[in-house]
Amino acid sequence: MIALVLAWTGAATHGQGLRGSTPAPGIAPLVDDPGRNEGWRGLAPLESDAGAASRAGAASDAEAAGLRTEAPAAPPGAARTDAAGRDRQRAQNRRAPWIDPDPRRANALASGGLAAPAPPTAAARPMSSRPAVVANRRTGRMPRRPAAAADPAAAQASRPATTTARRPPTAAITLSRDEIRALGPGGRGVATPVQPRRPVDVPIVIDRTQGGGRALPNANPLGRGAVVDPVTGEVVSFARAPVVEADPFAPTGLRLGTFIVTPVADATLGYDSNPRRLHDGARGSLFTQSYGEVQARSDWTRHEMTARLRGTYSAYFSDPGVNRPEVNAVVTGRIDLARTTRIDTEARYNLTAQSPGSSNLPSAPSSLRDLPLVRQYGATAALVQDVGRLQLTLRGAVDRFTYDDATTNDGTTIPQAERNYNSLGLRARASYELTPGLRPFIEVGVERHAFDTPVSSGGLLQGSTSSSYRIGSTFELSRLLTGEVAAGYLMRDNIDPTLVDIRVPTFDAALVWTPTALTTLRFAAKSVIDETFTTGAAGIQRRDFSIELEHSFRRWLIGTARLAYGQDIYVGDPRIDQRLIGSLNLVYRASRNLQIRGEIRREMLMSNQAGQSYSANIFLLGLRLQR
């Protein structure tokens, strides 16, 4: 044993002498190898160069012989054994492989018993007075990086000078854009999945629930209805409160192609105390009223088209002679030629029966077998041009009115073909938008009535020319008061010189006042001149006023009270009629598709001509189906 120790000591001493002695001539001196102390050390602790230099001068005999009395303490954060160092290096490579671009080199050195070079230490960040960056409370994301400068040299010069350790050249790692975004500030370390591009204006709406209301397992934590940009993953907007329907019982309609169609069917049972509107000897009768309506509205991004067709038939049990139909069809269209130019069109058809109390009946109501029918065919076209806040409108209209022959109780036919006439009208209107809710206007119009029979059976020339002038305004005051008011002057010149020309002021209005969400008040006024076939009268000057109060006791229970007053002045004849109508209406909306309706109405006509006044009470109860 003593011999072995002496032999090992001699070999070690000989090696030290070789390192410290001068080489012989012709032999190259030994170059100091910085890695000579990094050879195989077995399980001995790794020792830094600084620790070895501190103990170089105090080597003992045991140390010279290669023996160590005790293991020196490992520096803080260093592994005590080679195996522990290799395990720590592998864990570091798994956690952050981007720190060392070639982790296989370090693993190979460690497995061969050689310690890998220490990774460069990142320089400490300089102190800054700017506040710390925090994540967004709503999204949980960090703010984006500031935009890169256009000039890289200027951006480099603007950065503060910092002292960093020189890193040995390494192979570059290529990262995708998604990986860079995920690893940068604000990311969560997970790259977004690759998905196809979508148009910029098409957002992604995330819903937390399915149709049945069951929450999805991967529900969006940002909330229901959050809109996320499909490219960047940023939240564009968050969920808003759902829009409340203005009328939850309104029909939804059926979609047929690009149109939304709304059908309505109504069946009513009623009682009329005076079906023929007689002054004396009235006899009441039960009646049924069948009503049907179909509305269609286009769902186009440009242009618009609407259609409405409705029909009513009233059948009286005790007096079939006053059975009467009523048909109304209107088709409107809007053609958008440009952003500031459009064309409005309308086509219409009306079929009505002359009222039993009308003064235009060819005979007394009690002597007629049936009520004669009146038909109207018409069309309107308008060109609307916007010039800044100024709007110019030119509107033309053409209508034709035809009258069916009347039949008396004894079978005699009363021809009415001489009453057929055509109406041609043209109106020009200019309006200016003073404020978003106030638009005053000026309107001028002309109209001509041309009869098929120039001379009536009474020997009078038929036909007239009218002109009207109006000034008014449309307004919308905080959505509580909306509508249109206009005042003007109307002049009508008759072809027959024996008939009096008409000069009357006019007042037209259509106002809607909504004091509360449950109450609506409507007011309407209208002034017109109608044709009359009363002998000696040049025309009928009509003025109508109506007021209607609608209140919702509940969303499903609506009551309406209406009062209307009208005055008919026969120009050229002393006759003056006054009309008064009052009604109460109640609607119970059982569902969106079913309604029960009831109405009580009273009609009165007060005339200064004997035998023309009448009154009637009407009661209605009906069922309405709509879709």
pLDDT top residue among 228 and 104: 228
CATH of the domain at 448: 2.40.160.40
Long-range contacts of 576-584 (CB under 8 A, 24+ apart): 576/607, 576/608, 577/359, 577/605, 577/606, 577/607, 577/608, 577/609, 577/612, 578/605, 578/606, 578/607, 579/603, 579/604, 579/605, 579/606, 580/604, 580/606, 584/559, 584/560
CA distances from 435 to 232, 392, 432, 484, 609 (A): 42, 17, 9, 15, 50
CA gap 539, 447 in Å, rounded: 15
In a domain, 387, yes or no: yes
In this predicted structure, what is the pLDDT of residue 215? 41
pLDDT tops 90 at residue 576: yes
pLDDT top residue among 398 and 414: 398
In this predicted structure, what is the pLDDT of residue 19? 47
In a domain, 191, yes or no: no
Q: Which residues pair with 206 in a beta bridge?
A: 226
In a domain, 282, yes or no: yes
Residues 496-534: tens digit of each pLDDT: 999 999 999 999 999 999 999 899 999 999 999 988 887
pLDDT top residue among 299 and 16: 299
Q: Are the beta carbons of 223 and 239 closer than 8 angstroms?
A: yes
Q: Which domain holds residue 541?
A: 259-626
In a domain, 86, yes or no: no
pLDDT top residue among 49 and 248: 248
In a domain, 518, yes or no: yes
In this predicted structure, what is the pLDDT of residue 70? 52
In a domain, 37, yes or no: no
Residues 309-335: tens digit of each pLDDT: 999 999 999 989 899 999 999 999 999
Q: Are the beta carbons of 293 and 263 closer than 8 angstroms?
A: yes
Q: Specify which of 7-11, 140-144, 167-171, 588-592 reaches the highest per-range mean pLDDT.
A: 588-592
Residues 376-392: tens digit of each pLDDT: 999 999 999 999 999 99
In a domain, 408, yes or no: yes
* Number of domains, the chain: 1
CA gap 615, 605 in Å, rounded: 6
In a domain, 97, yes or no: no
